[in-house]
Amino acid sequence: MDYEISLLTTMGVSVLFALSLNLITGFCGQISLGHAAFLGIGAYVAAMLGKAGLPFLATLPLAMLLAGAVGAVVGLASLRVRADFLAITTMGVGFLFVGIVRQQNWLGGELGISGIPDTGLSKTAFMLLTLLLCALVAAFSQYIRKSWMGRVFNGIAEDEDTMRVLGIDASRYKLVAFAIGTALAGLAGSMYAYNLRFIGPDSFGFVESITVLSMVVVGGIGSVTGVIVAAALLSALPAWFQVIGDYKLLVYGGLLFLMMRFSPGGMAGLVTRFFSPVGSVGKGGGT
């Protein structure tokens, strides 16, 4: 039973992380290849504050706040770049974060931070809290997607220049999306840290950024339900089939290629195409 609880918790953290990137990439069309850095910021903030004696629940909003603030700064610095240049910029942020952490002894350096305090919750209660946060973030994502802000995000993703012609301050909304998405990544990072009670720089590198991007693409860029399903399945596959753990990047890369080649709308696009033969699925067409 402990194994199933641990697996569900891990899946929940992955879902939180994937939903945070979906808000940036899926809703607003901003490609981030360094999103794991914000997961790491949340994890390190929660770990350091927890070791300093702050209660578990008090560290969560602070981790979100700092990750979102750093995300806003990065977003502000990236407003003048688009597409490939934005992807490269965010990838650089990811490498920068790992490099800084490795060099700072007060952050644990190469060895990371161990002995993160217990949350005071049972494993079952922590798992339920993680799943509750997933439900809340999913509901929040659906609310944003269907709101006027979500329509603006979608317009920016489809044609930013047209939105500017219409008088929409695209830069402002891109910054909002980046700040919210990175704050949610900080929340996922704090839950990650308390779940494992150990963190290190290798957990927040380029590989993790590509992994979460794969979850978003496989689920369906912009689809909340699709991303939840894909994140849960892809995070559980290495546990269900241990051989996949040794070839995780190969499997994820293959799925990414297949989806982009045969179903750009991801799993959500496949479902929509199956139930609506006469329709077509574009980017972010899922629910």
Which residues are CB-contacts of 25 (< 8 A; sequence separation ≥ 6)? Answer: 31, 32, 213, 216, 221
Condensed to tens digits (0 to 9), the pLDDT of residues 27-39 reads: 998 888 999 999 9
Place 159 in a pLDDT band, splitting at 50, 70 and 90: confident
Reported as a single tens digit per residue, the pLDDT across 42-75 is 999 999 999 999 999 999 999 999 999 999 999 8
What's the pLDDT score for residue 274?
59
Give the phi and the psi of residue 73 in degrees, each rounded to 5. Answer: -65, -45
Which stretches within the chain are classed as H helix? Answer: 2-21, 27-28, 36-51, 56-77, 83-103, 123-146, 148-165, 170-196, 206-219, 224-240, 242-246, 248-262, 266-275
The domain spans of the chain are 2-206
Higher pLDDT, 236 or 178: 178
Please say whether the beta carbons of 212 and 35 come within 8 A.
Answer: yes
Q: Is the pLDDT of residue 282 over 60?
A: no
At residue 237 the predicted structure's pLDDT band, cuts being 50, 70 and 90, is confident
Higher pLDDT, 251 or 13: 13
3-class DSSP state of 106: helix
pLDDT band at 198 (very low <50, low <70, confident <90, very high): very high
CA distance 229 to 226: 5
39 or 258, which is more confident = 39
Exposed / middle / buried, residue 245 (Cβ in 10 Å: 0-12, 13-18, 19+):
exposed
Q: What is the mean pLDDT of residues 117-124?
A: 93
Q: Is pLDDT above 90 for 16? A: yes
